Amino acid sequence: MLNLSNQHVAEGVWEKVPRKSRPELLRIQGSRRLGRILLVVGILFVIALFLPWRQTIAGAGTLTALTPQDRPQTVQNQIAGRIEHWNVREGQLVRKGDTLLTISEIKDEYFDPNLPERLREQLAAKEANVDAYGAKIAATDQQIAALSLTLQVQLESARNKVEQATNYLNIDRADLVAAQNFYETTRARLARYEEGYKNGLFSLTDIETRRLKLQEDLAKVTAARNKVASSQQALANARIELSNLRAKYAQDLAKANSDRSTAVSSRASSKGEVAATRNKISNVEVRRGLYVVRAPQTGYVVRALKAGIGETIKEGESIATLQPEAPLLAAEIYVRAMDVPLIQRGRQVRLQFDGWPAIQFSGWPSAAVGTFGGFVSVIDVVSSSGGKYRLLVRPAQPQAGDKPWPRQLRLGSGVQGWVILDSVPVWYEIWRQLNGFPPTLQAEPDVTPVKGDTGKEK
């Protein structure tokens, strides 16, 4: 080394300084203390690996109402109309049946202020028409009864005539047989007289007398035959008259029955018109009651969807949003599909609401601060948008050191939830997280029932 400085270091310094610095560099008390600290930390780490750790399934969502009737709803008008007056303002508490909105009619068929009276007049006319058709049916029934009675009398008379003609025919046939017998007898006698005349037993006068007798008997036979033919014609005419009588009265009865059927059909049609008119009267009365839109249940008017006076609204159109008063709250959180099989109804859940600061230790729920308790009430059986499943968490009974859900909670605010599962050692949880395995359960969970199932639950 070049000695460029004006100050010189004594040689004694080079001999004393190394002797003083050497013991400081070789002192071992600090390394022993560090080793002890690392040993204690290692022992504590090993002990911590065997501590119990509660597995959890995290999910996020919003606050909602447990029952559909407690969720926000839109109030709709049932008929089309024109806004005349708003009776509420946004944020106002209304009771069930309170008037929200008053509208007026816009359809020309309902413009008449005396429409119900006009319809009642039409109803009275149609009811009178029904009575008239009823009277016509009664008169037709009487006519049919009279025709039936007359038909029976006429038929009886015609049958008597047929029977009388039949009797006359039988008599005439008997007379014909007798005349024929007399004729045959007379002819036989004439033959014997002619034989005796040839033998000289009878005179010519006797023969001529017998011949005249034969001619008389032949004339009687001919007259009897003509009489039988006349009787047959009379019987045929009686039968024809009987058939004509039946056909005539059958035609009259058919016409009367046709008139009755027409009257019955017209009365049924009039009754239908009466029913339709009554229905229209009822519809008009109900429609006039719908000019006032009322609150379906007690709640707060959140927002008016239609504004201004004179605005026309369609039927079934939403006019305001109503939030029911004091809904039964539930936390609606969404979890992954791979975690749903591990969750069953009744599982405990820790919740953190937006606006309430909290410190959450997922592995040690008892050490969490600012969280609130709940339990799984509903598990959807189908996935929602995004492939996640919805859980409805209801408030649990507050335990020692736990607080009930805040009264200031509002529907729609955010919420974070942790479904608490079984306990496992810390080392197992670290190993599971490193390998990406899902949480484990000590026993197979029950099958999740469908929403609304009222069957037995374990």
Contacts of 81 (CB under 8 A, 6+ apart): 103, 104, 105, 106, 291, 312, 313
Q: Are 262 and 46 in contact (CB under 8 A)?
A: no
Contacts of 154 (CB under 8 A, 6+ apart): 245, 249
Asked if pLDDT for residue 146 goes beyond 60, the answer is yes
Which pLDDT belongs to residue 16? 56
Asked if pLDDT for residue 62 goes beyond 90, the answer is yes
For the four alpha carbons of 300, 305, 309 and 314, in that order, the dihedral sign comes to negative
For 352, the enclosing helix (H) or strand (E) is strand 348-353
Asked if pLDDT for residue 26 goes beyond 50, the answer is no
Which pLDDT belongs to residue 15? 55
Q: Are 88 and 301 in contact (CB under 8 A)?
A: yes
Interatomic CA distance for residues 265 and 259, integer angstroms? 10
For the four alpha carbons of 432, 434, 435 and 439, in that order, the dihedral sign comes to positive
Residue type, position 238, single letter:
A
Strand partners, 104: 82
Which pLDDT belongs to residue 48? 78
Residue type, position 382, single letter:
V
Pairing assessment for the beta strands 81-86 and 312-313 based on DSSP bridges:
antiparallel
Asked if pLDDT for residue 330 goes beyond 70, the answer is yes
Q: Are 72 and 84 in contact (CB under 8 A)?
A: no
Residue 375: band (very low, low, confident or very high) from pLDDT cuts 50, 70, 90 = very high
pLDDT 10s digits, 301-311: 999 888 778 88
Interatomic CA distance for residues 209 and 190, integer angstroms? 9
- pTM listed for this prediction: 0.59
Contacts of 196 (CB under 8 A, 6+ apart): 202
- Number of CB atoms found within 10 A of residue 378's CB: 20
Which pLDDT belongs to residue 246? 83
Residue 4: band (very low, low, confident or very high) from pLDDT cuts 50, 70, 90 = low
Residue type, position 19, single letter:
R
Q: Are 346 and 376 in contact (CB under 8 A)?
A: yes
